[in-house]
Structure 1
Amino acid sequence: MEKKQRTLLQGFEWYLPEDQYHWQKIAELAPLLKQIGFTSIWLPPAYKGLKGEKEVGYAPYDLYDLGEFQQQGTIATKYGTKDEYLACIHALKENDLEVLADIVFDHFMGADEKEEVLAERCKATDREAIISKQRMIEARTKFTFSGRKGKYDNYQWSWKNFSGVDYDDKQKEEGIFKFVGKKWNSPVDNENANFDYLMGCNLDMTYPETIQQLDNWGKWYQSITDIDGYRFDAVKHIKFDFFNQWLLHRRKEKEQELFIIGEYWNNDLQKLENYIDQSGALLPLFDIPLHYNFYEAAKKGNQYDLRKLLVNTLVDSRPEWAITFVENHDTQEGQSLESWVLPWFKPMAYAIILLLMKGTPVVFWGDLFGIPAKKVEKMGQTLIILLKIRQQIRSNYELTYFDDPTIVGWTHVDSLNERDFNYAVIMSNDQNGSKQMCIGTRAAHKNYIDILGNHHQIVRLNEVGIGNFYVKERSLAVYVEETVAKKLLAEVEQLDIK
């Protein structure tokens, strides 16, 4: 069986219902997700968090509680119970979908008890600068996990596992407090001199017991889930070399390669490249610069030079390390990194990540299924068609035509694989227009139509497979051979995307 192009779904958005049903819903959707063309799915954090059944997952409390124990006011997490989670993973795997877990190793939150700790306050904009005398503070750093009663692991976390907190309960004072005798981990991102501290109880990745406990948990978690890979949150705040040993152990236990993604949120390409180099080239990263290029292109309209869409992006400089995306849970309306790509440009952005064969694309749940809580409509058939086209691709042979500030395009051309799928993509952020592009001699004298239905001109290719492809203003057209297009559209019509 031929290997398909890897295509991920981010299996959640921030404002999902707090109904503890999400694991069951994804399990039910598994056959459909495979049909649409996904090969992989990234699931939200599965363990118990600070807000209990309301917790999206990024304020971890007990890594061993996957919705099994009465803790933080609930047994189930926002997404369901442990049994439902494991059943969800099983259903996805039964449909040949690779499953990635979302892991937060930066901090813990929701401690069970307070401890008195000698600490000193750091300057918010320069974490290496001390701005107070040493004093005893009350820190919420004692994690006893009493609801779990020692099942799976009886270790209790204390201030020694952490390097700092952001609140002194004794004086009711907010600030960044570093524990005396501790140092911020390094190397990490150099924003604020040292960006180790983000929030909550900051994990000390130099403390042997912390390292050992995270490793113990990883072995347990992988053994019960048989997970295929990991998405690591906030890696710019975690000691750059931490994951080397952790992942080495997981790979040995799995006895096969794991698919890994790191989230390093920074628009500076050099910082992403530096992390890849310093971390031992272990973690492909989300292409943050590309996302912001989409965001700017959508906002600026015809004032944005489309030739620059891929400039200073990870997918352009190191495509094998680039995880491309249009949106995620942090870019949504009301979230910490809000940078929502305007709807008119979104089909073009998805065409870039799905049909330009560089990097590994992630489709956002909210774009596929909508965001009812914010009255955001799903993208509908356009996104499904792009996914179905990607599902047919067997090679990376393409020609690019990024030669005009308002109209750009590319073609997927002849390859040695007779089953390969050829197409032409053209997009405009301004007026109607056209571009002469080559698909290849195998397509000579064939008729191509815009499978999206945005332009109705039939393009007949000449004897060497060159044609003049048309696009409407502020629009996208994807030209596919006429009979193939009709067959694909018939398949799409059979899919029930609710």
Structure 2
Amino acid sequence: MKNPNLKIYLLSALLIALYSCNSNEEAITNSTHAASQFKVINVTHHDGHAFSTGKTPSTTGKYVANPGGGVMMQAFYWDVPSGGNWWNTLSTKVTAWSNAGIGSIWLPPVSKAQNGPFSMGYDPTDYFDFGNYNQNGTIETRFGSKTELVSLITKAHSENIQVYADMVLNHNSGGQLENNPYTGTQTYTNFTGVASGKFPRTSADFYKNAYGNNDEGAFGGFPDLAHVTPNVQNWLWLRSDGVGKYYKNTMKFDGWRFDYVKGFGPWVVKDWNANVGGFSVGEYWDSNVNTLEWWANNANSSVFDFACYYKMNDAFDGNNLNLLNDDMMWKRNPHKAVTFVTNHDTDEIYNKQLAYAYILTHEGYPTIFYRDYEEWLNKAKMDNLIWIHNNKATGTTSILYADNDEYIARRNGYNGNPGLVVYINNSSSWQERWVPTNWTNAQIKDFTGNSTWLPTTQGDSWVKIQSPPNSYSVWSINM
């Protein structure tokens, strides 16, 4: 179902005189815009404030929350080098990331897991072992020691970067065998001997148990935590020395990425947020925007915008940019939509640079994938898009034009910030279009540098812009 808040206006204008734009483009002020129909779709629900990253300005940090909101870095990928040096590697990156405009980093699960020095952390054993206990065949985690983790968080905060922990609350691994009265068998559900001595749990804390046979979902055959049990609730989010409050108040994490939230009810994240606080985003892997919105509202949390992800994949790789007119979470509620191009689990979009141009100019809280930024894409182009997002991408969104190869949208500005017009061109040749802007009799420029035009908007705010082949341009007032 389309967003009922979308207002569709059909604007048409008769071509009186045709002018081709040259490098000066001053002559545009005397011409009239081309006769083409624009379907202008206004997304009117966003007030233009920065998104809920929880960031506050700092006089010492290099990044300050700007009108466009924050940019998150997923600071890992699947199978990052083992050996306990990843936290140190990230510590060498955060100053440059802050200088580029990154406002937060998302870390992999930080606690000791069953696979010890080789685990990516998604099979948690001891939530309070950050690489400081000899357990599961190692003292350090795959990523490093507790001391190195604390040093990374401290360094990130000194650069005014927030740090989000990846929380795996659905399942546990690495427990000892015990006689399970609920199954009549032996199960690996005895976690009373974890090295930290904290969050002891037994078969009574996993499904099936006295509370029932199951909840919303189990994963990988691991013991499935029963969040309805008082012991689990106490240790995860209620106790002052429990997981959530220890991570926030002692380890100094600023927020949470919740793994596999399909596995338990949204009330779990809602209760965590109410008792612990901090930014939160859930991995509800579903392309149905109605389902994403339902989960975000009931969890009182942001959610990864998988609807946007799959639409971008079909649009950019399938040469059908019309699909960007379709409904997505960022259009429903941009304050609860975390947009992304790829992550450690899925990497389907081939035309990534255009996808990043899309999420970094549109509403939502955009996430950049470590390998895209550090290894695979042009870092200068990425830095440019981050700057554009932080400084120009403000206000509501109006989709001005879309066909198979071209997509043009306008951010309408907010509180004195002029906004922008983004032109994405997925064809093999330069394209030009007349578009309605927010600006009257104003010189504009392409802040990507992909076009050298310096056109001036007409008295009715229309202007002719261009975009290079298989690329994009981003226009705003030349100031």
Q: Output the TM-score relative to the length of structure 2.
A: 0.79
Please, which moves more after superposition, 24-33 or 83-92? 24-33
Three-state SS of the structure 2 residue aligned to 1:441 is: coil
Three-state SS of the structure 1 residue aligned to 2:433 is: strand
Three-state SS of the structure 1 residue aligned to 2:250 is: helix
Alignment of structure 1 residues 115-154 onto 2, 5 Å: 115-118=178-181, 136-145=184-193, 147-148=195-196, 150=197, 153=198
**Structure 1 residues 72-126: Cα deviation after superposition (integer angstroms, max 9, x where no partner):** 1111111110011111111111111111111111010112x21222566xxxxxx
Three-state SS of the structure 2 residue aligned to 1:467 is: strand
**Structure 1 residues 220-248: Cα deviation after superposition (integer angstroms, max 9, x where no partner):** 22221122111111111112212333322
Alignment of structure 1 residues 278-427 onto 2, 5 Å: 278-279=298-299, 282-300=300-318, 302=319, 304=320, 306-332=321-347, 340-342=348-350, 345-356=351-362, 358-370=363-375, 377-393=376-392, 395-396=394-395, 399-412=398-411, 416-417=415-416, 420=417, 422-427=419-424
Query: For residue 4 of structure 2, what is the aligned residue in structure 1?
Result: none
**How far did residue 56 of structure 1 move?**
1.1
Three-state SS of the structure 2 residue aligned to 1:225 is: coil
Query: For residue 149 of structure 2, what is the aligned residue in structure 1?
Result: 85
Q: Distance in 2 between matches of 1:107 and 1:399?
A: 42
**How far did residue 414 of structure 1 move?**
5.8
**Structure 1 residues 238-264: Cα deviation after superposition (integer angstroms, max 9, x where no partner):** 12212333322213xxxxxx2111111
Q: Does 1:460 align with 2:451?
A: no
**How far did residue 467 of structure 1 move?**
2.4
Q: Distance in 2 between matches of 1:115 and 1:206?
A: 21
Aligned CA distance change for structure 1 residues 217 and 43 (closer, same or farther; 3 Å):
same
Query: For residue 213 of structure 2, what is the aligned residue in structure 1?
Result: 183
Q: Distance in 1 between matches of 2:188 and 2:106?
A: 31
Q: In structure 2, what residue type is equivalent to 1:324?
A: T
Aligned CA distance change for structure 1 residues 206 and 415 (closer, same or farther; 3 Å):
closer
**Structure 1 residues 305-344: Cα deviation after superposition (integer angstroms, max 9, x where no partner):** x122251311122222211111111114xxxxxxx210xx
Three-state SS of the structure 2 residue aligned to 1:267 is: coil
**How far did residue 19 of structure 1 move?**
2.7
Q: Distance in 1 between matches of 2:397 and 2:291?
A: 29
Q: Distance in 2 between matches of 1:429 and 1:437?
A: 18
8 Å contact from structure 2 (residues 218, 263) kept in 1:
yes
Question: What fraction of aligned residue pairs are identical, expressed as a percent?
Answer: 24
Three-state SS of the structure 2 residue aligned to 1:241 is: helix
Q: Distance in 2 between matches of 1:441 and 1:299?
A: 33
Query: For residue 159 of structure 1, what is the aligned residue in structure 2?
Result: 203
**How far did residue 369 of structure 1 move?**
1.0
Q: Does 1:474 align with 2:473?
A: no
> For structure 1, which runs of at least 5 residues remain unmatched after alignment?
121-135, 164-177, 189-194, 252-257, 333-339, 371-376, 485-498
**Structure 1 residues 7-45: Cα deviation after superposition (integer angstroms, max 9, x where no partner):** 111111113111311212222222211111111111111
Q: Distance in 1 between matches of 2:327 and 2:436?
A: 27
**How far did residue 394 of structure 1 move?**
7.1
8 Å contact from structure 1 (residues 411, 439) kept in 2:
yes
Q: Distance in 1 between matches of 2:388 and 2:441?
A: 17
**How far did residue 406 of structure 1 move?**
2.1
> For structure 2, which runs of at least 5 residues remain unmatched after alignment?
1-56, 58-63
Three-state SS of the structure 2 residue aligned to 1:157 is: coil
Equivalent of 1:48 in 112, 116, 119: 112
Q: In structure 1, what residue type is equivalent to 2:80?
A: L
Q: In structure 2, what residue type is equivalent to 1:349?
A: A
Q: Distance in 1 between matches of 2:291 and 2:382?
A: 31
Aligned CA distance change for structure 1 residues 475 and 73 (closer, same or farther; 3 Å):
same
Three-state SS of the structure 1 residue aligned to 2:266 is: coil
**How far did residue 460 of structure 1 move?**
1.5
Query: For residue 69 of structure 1, what is the aligned residue in structure 2?
Result: 133
Equivalent of 2:286 in 254, 266, 281: 266
Aligned CA distance change for structure 1 residues 71 and 460 (closer, same or farther; 3 Å):
same
8 Å contact from structure 1 (residues 48, 67) kept in 2:
yes
8 Å contact from structure 2 (residues 305, 328) kept in 1:
yes
Query: For residue 426 of structure 2, what is the aligned residue in structure 1?
Result: 429
Three-state SS of the structure 1 residue aligned to 2:424 is: strand
8 Å contact from structure 2 (residues 71, 102) kept in 1:
yes
Q: Distance in 1 between matches of 2:120 and 2:324?
A: 32
Q: Distance in 2 between matches of 1:161 and 1:94?
A: 39
Three-state SS of the structure 2 residue aligned to 1:83 is: helix
Three-state SS of the structure 2 residue aligned to 1:99 is: strand
8 Å contact from structure 1 (residues 117, 179) kept in 2:
no
8 Å contact from structure 1 (residues 310, 316) kept in 2:
no
Query: For residue 170 of structure 1, what is the aligned residue in structure 2?
Result: none
Q: Distance in 2 between matches of 1:287 and 1:414?
A: 23
Three-state SS of the structure 1 residue aligned to 2:93 is: helix
Aligned CA distance change for structure 1 residues 379 and 13 (closer, same or farther; 3 Å):
farther
Three-state SS of the structure 2 residue aligned to 1:265 is: coil
Query: For residue 235 of structure 1, what is the aligned residue in structure 2?
Result: 261
**How far did residue 179 of structure 1 move?**
5.3
Three-state SS of the structure 1 residue aligned to 2:472 is: strand
Q: In structure 2, what residue type is equivalent to 1:392?
A: N
Equivalent of 1:19 in 51, 64, 83: 83
Query: For residue 58 of structure 1, what is the aligned residue in structure 2?
Result: 122
Aligned residues: 409
Query: For residue 37 of structure 2, what is the aligned residue in structure 1?
Result: none
8 Å contact from structure 1 (residues 60, 109) kept in 2:
yes
8 Å contact from structure 2 (residues 270, 298) kept in 1:
no
